[in-house]
Amino acid sequence: MKINLTIIFSILLAAGVMALGFTSWQAYQERQRLHIDLERRAVLLGESISGGLVAQLEKGRIKPVQRIIDRVSQSSSRLGGLAVYDFRDSLVAMTDGFLPYLSVFADFRSREHGGDSLVASFERSAGRRLYLFRRDLSGDSLRVGTLAAVYDAAYIDRQITGIWKSSFIRWFVQALVIAMVTLLVIRWSILRPLGVMAAWMRDIRTSGKSRRLPPPAFFEPLKKEVDQMVDTIAEARATATEEAKLRATAEAIWTPERLKEEVRQLLDGRILVAVSNREPYMHVHRGNAVDCIVPASGLVTAMEPVLKACGGIWVAAGMGDADRETVDEKNEIRVPPDDPRYTLRRVWMSKEEEEGFYYGFSNEGLWPLCHVAHARPTFRIEDWRYYQEINSRFADAVIEEVSGLEKPLILVQDYHFALLPRLIKERRPDALVAVFWHIPWPNPESFGICPWQKELLYGMLGADMIGFHTQYHCNNFMETVDRALESQITWEHFSVRIAGHTTLVKPFPISIAFTPRDLEAAGTPSPAGELLKEYGIKADFIGVGVDRIDYTKGIVERFLAIERFLERYPAYQGKFTFVELGAPSRTHIKRYADVTSEVEAAAERINWRFKTKEWKPILFLKKHHSHQDIQPWYRAAQLCLVTSLHDGMNLVAKEFIASRGTNDGVLILSRFAGAARELRDALIVNPYDVEQTAEAIRFALEMPPAEQQERMQRMRQQLVSHNIYLWAADLIRELSFIRLSAKPGAEKIATEDNPL
Q: What is the pLDDT of residues 63-106, one digit of tens each?
A: 888 888 888 888 777 788 888 888 888 888 888 888 888 888 87
Half-sphere exposure of 381 (CA within 13 A, CB side): 0
Q: Are 417 and 358 in contact (CB under 8 A)?
A: no
Q: How would DSSP label each residue in 99-168?
A: GGGHHHHHHHHHS--TT-SEEEEEEEETTEEEEEEEEEEEETTEEEEEEEEEEE-HHHHHHHHHHHHHHH
Q: Are 644 and 553 in contact (CB under 8 A)?
A: yes
Partner residues linked to 488 by β-bridges = 497
Q: Are 439 and 470 in contact (CB under 8 A)?
A: no
- The alpha carbon of 661 is separated from its chain's Cα centroid by a whole number of angstroms, namely 27
pLDDT band at residue 743 under the 50/70/90 scheme: very low
Nearest partner of 52 among 139, 111, 175, 126, judged by Cα: 139
Nearest partner of 433 among 446, 419, 447, 443, judged by Cα: 419
**CA distances (Å), 172 to each of 163, 176, 182, in order?**
14, 6, 15
pLDDT at residue 754 in the model:
43
Q: Are 744 and 425 in contact (CB under 8 A)?
A: yes
Q: Are strands 128-139 and 142-152 parallel, antiparallel or unpaired?
A: antiparallel
Sign of the dihedral through C-alpha 50, 55, 60, 62: negative
DSSP state at residue 330: T
Rounded to 5°, the CA angle 558-561-566 comes to: 130
Higher pLDDT, 406 or 396: 396
Nearest partner of 178 among 25, 26, 10, 20, judged by Cα: 10
pLDDT at residue 755 in the model:
40
pTM for this entry: 0.67
Higher pLDDT, 580 or 103: 580
- Find the helix or strand (DSSP H, E) in which 80 lies: strand 79-86
d(CA 574, CA 577): 8
Higher pLDDT, 679 or 135: 679
pLDDT at residue 127 in the model:
73
Rounded to 5°, the CA angle 235-238-240 comes to: 105
Q: How would DSSP label each residue in 584-637?
A: ---TTSHHHHHHHHHHHHHHHHHHHHH-BTTB-SEEEEES---HHHHHHHHHH-
Domains and CATH numbers, the chain: 2-11+29-158 (3.30.450.20), 266-507 (3.40.50.2000), 524-722 (3.40.50.2000)
* Tens digit of each residue's pLDDT (9 = 90 or more) over 688-731: 999 999 999 999 999 999 999 999 999 999 999 999 999 999 99
3-state secondary structure of 270: coil
Count of Cβ atoms closer than 10 Å to residue 486 Cβ:
12
* Tens digit of each residue's pLDDT (9 = 90 or more) over 400-447: 999 988 889 999 999 999 999 999 999 999 999 999 999 999 999 999
At a CB cut-off of 8 Å and minimum separation 6, what does 652 contact? Answer: 298, 545, 546, 547, 640, 642
pLDDT at residue 586 in the model:
87
d(CA 255, CA 252): 10
pLDDT at residue 156 in the model:
82
Nearest partner of 474 among 441, 435, 433, judged by Cα: 441
Nearest partner of 630 among 298, 172, 346, judged by Cα: 298
* Tens digit of each residue's pLDDT (9 = 90 or more) over 585-644: 888 888 899 999 999 999 999 999 999 999 999 999 999 888 889 999 999 999 999 999
pLDDT surpasses 60 at 140: yes
At a CB cut-off of 8 Å and minimum separation 6, what does 110 contact? Answer: none
pLDDT surpasses 80 at 341: yes
Partner residues linked to 334 by β-bridges = 343
Higher pLDDT, 537 or 523: 537
pLDDT at residue 247 in the model:
47
pLDDT at residue 206 in the model:
62
pLDDT at residue 269 in the model:
79
Q: How would DSSP label each residue in 669-694?
A: EETTBGGGGT-TTSEEE-TT-HHHHH
**CA distances (Å), 535 to each of 212, 539, 609, in order?**
36, 11, 18
d(CA 226, CA 212): 8
Partner residues linked to 146 by β-bridges = 85, 136
Q: How would DSSP label each residue in 361-423?
A: IIIIIIHHHHH-SS------HHHHHHHHHHHHHHHHHHHHHTTT-SS-EEEEESGGGSSHHHH
Q: Are strands 313-317 and 342-347 parallel, antiparallel or unpaired?
A: parallel
**Could you give the percent of the chain with pLDDT greater than 70?**
86
Nearest partner of 451 among 755, 752, 754, judged by Cα: 752
Higher pLDDT, 714 or 243: 714
pLDDT band at residue 676 under the 50/70/90 scheme: very high
* Tens digit of each residue's pLDDT (9 = 90 or more) over 176-216: 777 777 777 666 665 566 666 666 666 665 655 555 555 55
* Tens digit of each residue's pLDDT (9 = 90 or more) over 372-387: 877 899 999 999 999 9
Q: How would DSSP label each residue in 547-575?
A: EES-TTS-HHHHHHHHHHHHHH-GGGTTT
pLDDT surpasses 50 at 369: yes
Long-range contacts of 213-216 (CB under 8 A, 24+ apart): 216/192
pLDDT band at residue 35 under the 50/70/90 scheme: confident
Rounded mean pLDDT of the chain?
85
Rounded to the nearest 10 degrees, the angle between the axes of helix 724-736 and helix 298-310 is 70
* Tens digit of each residue's pLDDT (9 = 90 or more) over 443-478: 999 999 999 999 999 999 999 999 999 999 999 999
Q: Nearest 5°: phi and psi at 583? A: -95, 120
pLDDT at residue 276 in the model:
96
Count of Cβ atoms closer than 10 Å to residue 48 Cβ:
10
Rounded to 5°, the CA angle 73-77-82 comes to: 30
- Terminal-to-terminal C-alpha distance of the chain: 96
pLDDT band at residue 250 under the 50/70/90 scheme: very low
Count of Cβ atoms closer than 10 Å to residue 70 Cβ:
15
What does the pLDDT average to over 749-756? 42
* Tens digit of each residue's pLDDT (9 = 90 or more) over 717-729: 999 999 999 999 9
pLDDT at residue 237 in the model:
61
Rounded to 5°, the CA angle 688-694-698 comes to: 150
Length of the chain: 756
Partner residues linked to 612 by β-bridges = 615
pLDDT surpasses 90 at 226: no
d(CA 756, CA 746): 13
- The alpha carbon of 378 is separated from its chain's Cα centroid by a whole number of angstroms, namely 32
d(CA 444, CA 481): 8
**Could you give the percent of the chain with pLDDT greater than 90?**
50
Q: Are strands 618-622 and 576-583 parallel, antiparallel or unpaired?
A: parallel
Name the residue type at position 315: V
